[in-house]
């Protein structure tokens, strides 16, 4: 890999597509989650998890009732909360009307400290904003700590690896570190939902 500095003083890595390609893959599966609250509308993010229209977000974004899910191409869906797990800060939203192309998911247990990651979400109403950083720690209980800069509105949005494969959903910020719920915990949550339904 070669690096060069252009006349504007910006460093560019020649031969790399940067995070652009990963971001493109994420863009199609990252949604805005709009909830009705007493104070007005609440905004968070979510990630399209399965072909049958299951969208994963945080329980602190939406844990009951009806919500609206908006894709970045503008398509808009009414959704119901299919289940929530406050302990893991996870919620599942069900949208219907199409066969969806869900996110490529990577097992969070394969993640290594030092890997580069990106987060996509809708911080402060900024649709599809991307921030990047490094895996700070891989914690117990499928928690992922990163030094990615998150902001309110990132909640429920995907954390992905350098290839755009989803590792989990961003949940909160502790001591400046971004905390994401790993895909391991999400898969277990989804499995519990499915078995409860059957």
Partner 1 sequence: MATTLTELSKALADAVEAAGRNVVAVHEGGRAGVSATLWRDDIAVTAAHTIAGLKSVTLTLPDGTSGTAEVAGVLPTADLAVLKLAKKYSSHAQAAAAGALRVGDFVLAVGRRGANGVVATHGIISAIGEGEKPLRLDVQPFTGFSGGPLVGADGRVIGVNTSGPRRNLATIPAAAVESAVVTLLAKGRFPVPYIGIGLQPVRLSSSAQSDAVRRALLVVMVEPSGPAHKAGLLVGDIISHVDGAELTQARDLERALKPERIGQSIRVGVIRAGKQQEIAVTIGDRESR
Segment interacting with partner 1, rule: CB under 8 A, options 35-43, 71-79, 171-179, 185-193: 171-179
Q: Are 55 and 28 in contact (CB under 8 A)?
A: no
Burial 104-126 (b: 16+ CB within 10 A, else e): ebbebeebeeeeebbbbbbbeee
* 8 near partner 1, judged by CB under 8 A: no
Segment interacting with partner 1, rule: CB under 8 A, options 38-46, 100-108, 173-181, 187-195: 173-181
Considering only residues 87 to 126 of the shown chain, the ones binding partner 1 according to CB under 8 A are 112-116
* 40 near partner 1, judged by CB under 8 A: no
Strands (E), the chain: 2-5, 11-14, 30-37, 40-48, 54-57, 66-71, 76-85, 90-94, 116-121, 129-138, 143-146, 158-160, 166-174, 177-182
* 12 near partner 1, judged by CB under 8 A: no
Torsion angles phi and psi, residue 12, rounded to 5: -125, 140
Q: Select from 12, 13, 96, 191 the one that contacts partner 1 (CB under 8 A).
A: 13
How far, in Å, are 114, 120, 132, 146 from residue 138 at the CA level?
10, 19, 17, 9
Torsion angles phi and psi, residue 15, rounded to 5: 90, 0
* 191 near partner 1, judged by CB under 8 A: no
CA angle 56, 65, 90 (to 5 degrees): 30
Considering only residues 52 to 81 of the shown chain, the ones binding partner 1 according to CB under 8 A are none
Catalytic positions, please?
A: 60, 89, 155
Nearer to partner 1, 17 or 75 (CB): 17
Nearer to partner 1, 22 or 79 (CB): 22
Nearer to partner 1, 104 or 127 (CB): 104
Nearer to partner 1, 22 or 61 (CB): 22
Nearer to partner 1, 18 or 86 (CB): 18
Q: Select from 96, 137, 141, 152 the one that contacts partner 1 (CB under 8 A).
A: 137
* 151 near partner 1, judged by CB under 8 A: no
Contacts of 100 (CB under 8 A, 6+ apart): 48, 50, 51, 52, 53
- Give contact residues for partner 1 (rule: CB under 8 A): 1, 13, 15-22, 112-116, 133-140, 145, 147, 161-164, 175-177
């Amino acid at each position: 890999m070669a690096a060069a500095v252009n006349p504007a003083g910006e460093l560019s890595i020649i031969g790399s597509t940067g995070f652009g390609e990963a971001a493109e893959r994420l863009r199609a599966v990252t949604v805005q989650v709009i909830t009705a609250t007493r104070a007005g509308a609440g905004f968070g993010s979510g990630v399209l998890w399965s072909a049958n229209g299951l969208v994963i977000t945080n329980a602190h974004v939406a844990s009951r009732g009806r919500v609206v899910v908006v894709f970045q191409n503008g398509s808009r869906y009414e959704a119901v909360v299919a289940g929530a797990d406050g302990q893991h800060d996870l919620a599942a939203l069900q949208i219907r009307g199409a066969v969806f192309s869900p996110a490529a998911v990577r097992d969070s247990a394969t993640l290594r400290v030092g890997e580069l990651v990106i987060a996509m979400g809708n911080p402060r109403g900024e649709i599809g904003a991307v921030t990047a950083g490094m895996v700070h720690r891989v914690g117990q209980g499928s928690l992922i700590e990163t030094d990615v800069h998150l902001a309110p509105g990132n909640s429920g949005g995907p954390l992905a690896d350098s290839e755009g494969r989803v590792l989990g959903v961003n949940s909160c910020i502790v001591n400046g570190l971004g905390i994401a719920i790993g895909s391991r915990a999400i898969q277990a949550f989804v499995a519990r939902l499915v078995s409860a339904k059957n």
